[in-house]
Amino acid sequence: MAGKLLEAIATAQINGFWDDGALTTNPATDAVLKDTGALEAGDYLFGFMFQATAAAIFRIEWRNAANSATLKSQNIPIPASNLIEPIFPTKITLAANERVRVVIVAGITGDAQASIFRSRIIG
C-alpha cells in the first residue's frame, strides 16, 4: 500500500529554475525585488528565499497575463538579519503569460534580496 501511495503523489518535473534576485539596497515601498516574467500556461511548484538586513514584509503576488493586476497575494514578514524560505504546498495552475513576483511592502533602510524557485510539472 505504501508504494501505491507514493506513486500517487509523485510529481514529474519538466524543468526547474532559480530566478535569483539582485541584492537591493534601501528598496522603496512596493519595489519589485524579483519577477519571473511571463510564464507558459501550466502547473507549477514555487518556493522562495527572502533575506533582509532590516525587519521587512515581502509580498508574493500572482499577476494576470497583462501584469496589470494581482490575482492572489500573501504577505511574509521577516525579522532583521534573517532568511525565510516559504514553499507553496501545492501546484499552482497559471494561464499563459501570468507571472509571480515578489515586492517589498514598505521601504527599508538596509539590504533585501528575493529569489523565486519554480518548476513546471506534469501529471
pTM confidence score = 0.86
- CATH of residue 49's domain is 2.60.120.260
Name 64's bridge partners: none
* Residue range 51-103, pLDDT digits in tens: 999 999 999 999 999 999 999 999 999 999 999 998 888 899 999 999 999 99
* Residue range 24-58, pLDDT digits in tens: 999 999 999 999 999 999 999 999 999 999 999 99
In a domain, 3, yes or no: no
Name 44's bridge partners: 92, 120
In a domain, 56, yes or no: yes
**Domain residue limits at 74:** 13-122
How many domains are there within the chain? 1
In a domain, 63, yes or no: yes
In a domain, 62, yes or no: yes
In a domain, 84, yes or no: yes
In a domain, 59, yes or no: yes
Task: Say what the pLDDT of residue 123 is.
Answer: 66
In a domain, 55, yes or no: yes
Name 35's bridge partners: 101
In a domain, 2, yes or no: no
